[in-house]
Chain A
Amino acid sequence: MSRVVRVAGGQGFWGDWPEAPRRQVEGGPVDYLMLDYLAEVTMSILQKQKERDAAMGYARDFVGAMESVLPAVVERGVKVIANAGGVNPEACAAAVQAMAARAGHAGALRIGIVTGDNLLPRIDELLAAGHALHNMDTGEPLSVVRDRVIAANAYIGSTPIVEALAKGANVVITGRSTDTALTMAPLRHEFGWGAAEWDKLAAGIIAGHIIECGAQCSGGNCLHDWRGIENLADVGYPIVEGNADGTFVVTKHPGTGGRVSVPTVTEQLVYEMGDPHAYITPDVVADFTSIRLEQAGNDRVRVFGIKGAPATDKLKVSIAYRSGFKAVGSLVYAWPDALEKAQLADRVLRERLDRLGLHFEKVLSEFVGASATHGPLAGDAGRNAPEVQYRIGVRDADKRKVERFTREIVPLVLNGPPSVTGFAGGRPKVEEIVAYWPALVDKRMVQTRVEVR
């Protein structure tokens, strides 16, 4: 029997179940714990925090997660790989080392710190050198919003993580690495896959795609037979059992809830998918039309047949920029005629905004319980709803206009249609919008660095 490397997924996003990391290292044998913290907008939030306090700018939940798995790391040699570093991986590593020292394990952690993804200090240099950082969706050059940019990070691949592991790190903290590299890197490290073994690298990436959203491949948010999925209260997070040839099994710890089946894994495979023939990563272009799945026992799915193609010479860059303000407020109208009352409230409110001369870039009204999620496709089903939530949002560059809007909702309780409640929150708050600008940059413009402390 050839060697198997077990990579456990313990967080699917910043805010995922705090119990999951500890359950993954205590529920059975695992070699690596993979924790994904970064969504597209997360880097800009972290950048703002770092501007206020130079010791911040990383996913602080990670320190608690590390504390909860520290015995497994120190005593059993489980290694942890996380993109928790955000825009400040050094500070993240220092906080984890301080926690370990307080817990009596000073010197037990060798933390590999991966940096080089942060392009914010280099934007003007890149623009001056002819890298226009065009928006991949709209084609506009970054110069259009340059003065409003607050974060810019290249998505980096598996190579620096592999380097950190090779240097003996038992914890690897990255900034904006791809979610999938966090899983592929330990497999590549353990099995010695070369940088041009495209099929194996693609398999590692697809293993990463399957477990990067935590329990979303093991019964969570699963539409298929959802009533029949048992014991979600005790749901097992996913584990990849990787083989040297690139095949792997997706499973979870025995006795946990949820389910690992061909349908649960397939739902996760198609999640956030674009062109399935070309899933582009910094390491390899993976072909999702090559994936074969087979049920290989209870809560075990075997994945094989995966093909990959050479990586491109570009890296994706995630840029965040300030883009105006928004506010969303709501009221609840009760039976009878809940929807009709909510619709009248909407007409009244819009007429008042008009009379105030308040015009916005966007005003969106929704009727939760009738049509908010499926729009006109929902038909007449909301007509006799026991209650309907009227939800209205505005968006505009002018903060004062958005603030004025927030004062127009609650008055409807006494001066609008009847049978209204659900206003305990008072005026909605005005939020600054930090928008996302996806771009590409030449790979050779980004140099990653690895340091083990």
Chain B
Amino acid sequence: MRVRLLDIAHARSGDKGDTANVGVIALRPEWYPVLATHLTRDRVARHFAGVIEGGVDRYELPNLKALNFLLHGALDGGGTLSLKTDAQGKVYSTALLRIELDVPDAEARAAGLPEAP
């Protein structure tokens, strides 16, 4: 089943130098395992290929039903150096939520995931 991340998670992003961080939070606690399984470091790195210049780090926060991604080389140098509209990475959050996940049907049905329109 195709599942839009936008329909199962919310997110907030910020900056540290030239790195943007995106915290992705499950909209329902029972959807966190889906994020933990399918929203991998590689999936996110593939999504941002050609958009960011560096690699991706991923951390799990099961206590908050959240994942934290660090997107390196995302801000044209960051801070005052950056020429970007989004110099502080404030809207990388919704750029990440553009991801669509391929979740096996049985798993998706068991978790009650909404199918992508």
Contact = CB atoms under 8 A, between A and B. Distances in A.
A235 B12 CA distance: 19
Interface in B92-117: 93-95, 98
Dominant secondary structure of chain A at its interface with chain B: mixed
- Chain B CB within 10 A, most for which of A274, A290, A376: A274
Interface residues of B, number: 42
Given A268-B12, A273-B23, A289-B61, A41 B80 contact: yes
Contacts of A374: 91, 94-95, 98
A372 B81 contact: no
A373 B18 contact: no
B81 A276 contact: no
B17 to A, nearest CB: 5
Contacts of A176: none
Interface string B1-29: 00000000011111111100101010100
B73 to A, nearest CB: 10
Interface in A378-436: 391, 393-395, 433-436
Dominant secondary structure of chain B at its interface with chain A: mixed
Contact of A395 (B21, B59, B83, B93): B83
A292 B59 CA distance: 17
A137 B73 CA distance: 11
B72 to A, nearest CB: 9
A217 to B, nearest CB: 10
Contacts of B17: 137, 436, 438
A390 B50 CA distance: 21
Contacts of A40: 79
Interface string A259-285: 000010011111111111100000000
A440 B51 CA distance: 31
A375 B89 CA distance: 13
A433 B10 contact: no
A273 B10 contact: no
A272 B68 contact: no
Interface in B62-85: 62-66, 68, 70, 76-81, 83-85
Given A269-B64, A368-B85, A374-B94, A433 B12 contact: no
B86 interface: yes
Contacts of B21: 270-274
Contacts of B77: 362, 435
B83 A289 contact: no
Contacts of B23: 266-267, 269-271, 273
A318 B22 CA distance: 23
14 contacts: A223-B94, A267-B10, A269-B64, A270-B12, A270-B66, A271-B12, A274-B21, A291-B64, A364-B83, A374-B95, A374-B98, A375-B51, A377-B98, A395-B83
Given A266-B64, A395-B83, 17 more contacts: A221-B12, A224-B25, A266-B23, A269-B64, A271-B23, A272-B15, A273-B14, A274-B16, A274-B70, A276-B61, A372-B84, A374-B91, A374-B94, A377-B51, A435-B77, A436-B17, A438-B17
